[in-house]
């Protein structure tokens, strides 16, 4: 069965696979990599609606979209309608082609100031924020939510209606309540109810870690697309695998060691170029750890590579690690 494309406002995406926004992970190099390997859309890390932070180096970096394929989707977070509207305008002026609103992130930093998924508690405020942002910009506005505040307050269907009425053009739903954190299995039934309730595209999210799971979730929720977060960490080719499976029903073979090495080294080089040597080496550490997971002697390698301070040394160690992975695979073949 082929997978239908996802349309958000004027943008017909190449497929229905979306990279989830992840603070500290979905920076420009990672978004570009995932798009190249098959993601139809890659949402940025969130940018605060607090304008006092817009001059910071971190926020300026988050607003840098040079060379990114269209459509550029930027996530904003905050709880004040006027500030959110201003943040949306500011980001559109800097190249955002879709504004995504975060009402799905439980991060303490966000929830303490009554933003992210904490907003789900106050539906009237949700409505005011969405109205203000939709009115502020002429690009599509999308929304990311959880299924509710806690298991006793699963109000996502009601929030979805508010979003549709406000003119939101797509809704991503993480199948957990705010109180559930990342515990338990994502529940897809609420996502199905949302899909049955609203006409705007619904993107299902939560625990989708394989091509088969993507198919299963699309079928059981009726959603228009799936959003992948943690499963793309260290496995950006998962989008290619999903795309292939959704359109042919067949699984692609695992990438060869040499391809993984090539993808990873290109990714690391992009991180060094984007962040500069000092920060680049540090940001690269977590990606190296994810890529090396599941490979023999990965734990020992991670311990060693985390101590390295230069990009040249990091790349040299990565090469040595993959030489030994290739050698072991060669012996096993």
The residues annotated with a catalytic role in the active site are: 105
Query: Applying CB under 6 A, which of residues 18, 23, 139, 223 lies at the interface with ligand FMN?
Result: 23
User: Residue 173 or residue 305: which is nearer to ligand FMN going by CB?
Assistant: 173
- Token readout for 238 is 């998962």
Rule CB under 6 A: is residue 22 a binding residue for ligand FMN? yes
Binding of residue 194 to ligand FMN (CB under 6 A): no
Among 27, 86, 164, 207, binds ligand FMN (CB under 6 A): 207
Binders of ligand FMN among 105-134, rule CB under 6 A?
A: 105
Q: Residue 98: name the closest of 62, 68, 145, 138 by CA.
A: 138
Interface residues for ligand FMN in 86-105 (CB under 6 A)? 102, 104-105
228 binds ligand FMN (CB under 6 A): yes
One residue of 7, 89, 121, 230 binding ligand FMN per CB under 6 A:
230
Cα–Cα dist 123/196, whole Å: 20
**75 is an interface residue for ligand FMN by CB under 6 A:** yes
Among positions 18, 42, 46, 289, the unique one binding ligand FMN when judged by CB under 6 A? 46
Find out whether 270 and 66 touch, Cβ atoms under 8 Å: no
Contact (Cβ atoms closer than 8 angstroms) between residue 203 and residue 6: yes
Of positions 25, 37, 74, 132, contacts ligand FMN by CB under 6 A: 25
Is the previous residue joined to 71 through a cis bond, with omega within 30 degrees of 0?
A: yes
Contact window for ligand FMN (CB under 6 A) among 16-24, 49-57, 257-265, 293-301: 16-24
Q: Is residue 21 a contact point for ligand FMN (CB under 6 A)?
A: yes
In whole angstroms, the minimum distance from the beta carbon of 225 to ligand FMN comes to 13
Asked if 231 interacts with ligand FMN (CB under 6 A), we say: yes
User: For residue 108, what are the contacts with CB-CB under 8 A and spacing of at least 6?
Assistant: none
Q: Tokens 């170029």 — which residue? A: 273
Neighbour-count burial for 133-152, b at 16+ CB within 10 Å, e otherwise: bbebbebbbbbbbbbbbeee
- Around Cβ 4, how many Cβ atoms within 10 Å? 13
Beta strands of the chain (E only): which ranges?
Answer: 7-8, 11-12, 17-19, 41-48, 73-77, 98-103, 141-148, 170-177, 202-205, 225-228
Minimum CB–partner distance for residue 46 and ligand FMN (Å): 4
**Would you tell me which residues interact with ligand FMN (CB under 6 A)?**
20-25, 45-46, 75, 102, 104-105, 144, 174, 205-208, 228-231
């Amino acid at each position: 069965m082929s997978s239908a494309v996802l349309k958000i406002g004027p943008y017909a995406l190449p497929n229905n696979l979306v990279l989830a926004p992840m603070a500290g992970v979905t920076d420009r190099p990672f978004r570009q990599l995932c798009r190249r390997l098959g993601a139809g859309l890659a949402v940025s890390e969130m940018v605060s609606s607090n304008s006092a932070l817009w001059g910071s180096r971190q926020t300026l970096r988050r607003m840098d979209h040079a060379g990114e394929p269209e459509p550029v989707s930027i996530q904003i977070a905050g709880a004040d309608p006027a500030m959110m509207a201003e943040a949306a305008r500011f980001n559109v002026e800097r190249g955002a082609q879709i504004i995504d609103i975060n009402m799905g992130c439980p991060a303490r930093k966000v929830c303490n100031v009554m933003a992210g998924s904490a907003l789900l508690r106050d539906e009237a405020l949700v409505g005011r924020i969405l109205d203000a942002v939709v009115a502020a910009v002429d690009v599509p506005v999308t929304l990311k939510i959880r299924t509710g505040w806690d298991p006793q307050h699963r109000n996502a269907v009601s929030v979805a209606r508010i979003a549709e009425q406000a003119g939101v053009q797509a809704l991503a739903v993480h199948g957990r309540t705010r109180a559930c954190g990342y515990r338990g299995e994502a529940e897809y039934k609420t996502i199905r109810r949302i899909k049955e309730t609203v006409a705007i595209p619904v993107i299902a999210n939560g625990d989708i870690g394989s091509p088969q799971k993507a198919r299963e979730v699309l079928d059981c929720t009726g959603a228009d697309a799936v959003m992948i977060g943690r499963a793309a960490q260290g496995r950006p080719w998962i989008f290619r695998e999903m795309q292939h499976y959704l359109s042919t029903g067949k699984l692609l073979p695992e990438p060869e060691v040499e391809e993984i090495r090539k993808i990873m080294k290109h990714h690391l080089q992009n991180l060094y170029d984007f962040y500069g040597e000092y920060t680049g080496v540090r940001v690269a550490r977590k990606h190296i750890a994810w890529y090396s997971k599941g490979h023999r002697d990965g734990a020992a390698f991670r311990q060693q590579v985390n101590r390295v301070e230069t990009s040249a040394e990091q790349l040299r160690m990565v090469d040595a690690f993959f030489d030994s992975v290739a050698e072991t695979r060669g012996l096993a073949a």
